[in-house]
Amino acid sequence: MATKVDVSKAVGHSFPSEKVQYNRRDLILYALGVGVNDLRFVYELDKDFGAFPTYPLVLPLKGDSFDVTSFAERYIMGDIPGVPSIDLNKLLHGDQYIELLGELPKEATLVTKTHVSGVYDAGKGLVLERVTTMETETGTPLVKMIATSYIFGLGGFGGPKRPKPIYAVEAPKRTPDYVKVDQISPSAAILYRLSGDYNPLHVDPSIGKKMGFKGAILHGLCTFGHAAAAVMLCVAKNERRAFKSIGGRFASPVNPGDKLETRMWVLPGPTSDIVTVAFETYVVEEGAPPKLVISNGSVALWKQHSPVAGKL
């Protein structure tokens, strides 16, 4: 029996806006959580101290609290008109995009606004796309994020197929221009969760095993942050003003203790002032084929601020 989904009712649905807060300590903690140790991101007295560009990704779950929060209470999707009730145990993070619209303050209270931008039929599942914007309390836009969730069992309703994501870039067949390898610490998920994502799946091995994993798995957005850090270091030399956006699809889970390899290709951008960096991230292990964990990834860099890309 086909799932009853009314796309026209769901698309455009807005969730209640809310305030999120962060301080300099939060910025430092996040940078460390994604493997960044450049003083510009981890030392508050550095003359060029500021936020690592992907930091806002943690704010929807962090909210305005500076304490440990309940993941179950924070990750409440609520009823969406035209969509059956969503079982969080059947939900996977599909892909992620973030674009900076302005420079992030060193500490701030921001207002988040989220709406459903698409509902797509993926056969055995439903793809839910949401757009979140963050702005200052006076209304200045700073961040735009697009995230998709894949929900098992709600597909087959005859709805539209999802169009190609705006960030998706197929990696060239040639040798990468840059390759960065990161050894993920066994305690990486424990550190990253302190930035606001307290999903017990990432700390309690028994929960991971019940879901078919070896144990606790790394946050997808932690892997995403490591990939962003690789591109920022190799191509932008950690000049945060070079960052415009990043997007990618989560292909496989990563375990704490895994070794990540991010492969990067520098390409012409859509306009003369942008450089596109296509990337793929793999788990690599001696004696085993590489496992793709982030696919179709791309980073857009402002050419004028990128020391390497600006010379291309």
Known catalytic residue at 197: yes
Of these residues, 197, 246, 269, 297, which one is catalytic?
A: 197
Of these residues, 155, 196, 208, 220, which one is catalytic?
A: 220
Of these residues, 86, 146, 184, 217, which one is catalytic?
A: 217
Known catalytic residue at 294: no
Known catalytic residue at 121: no
Closest CA to 33 of 291, 248, 219: 219
Known catalytic residue at 220: yes
Of these residues, 202, 208, 248, 269, which one is catalytic?
A: 202
Return the active site residues: 197, 202, 217, 220
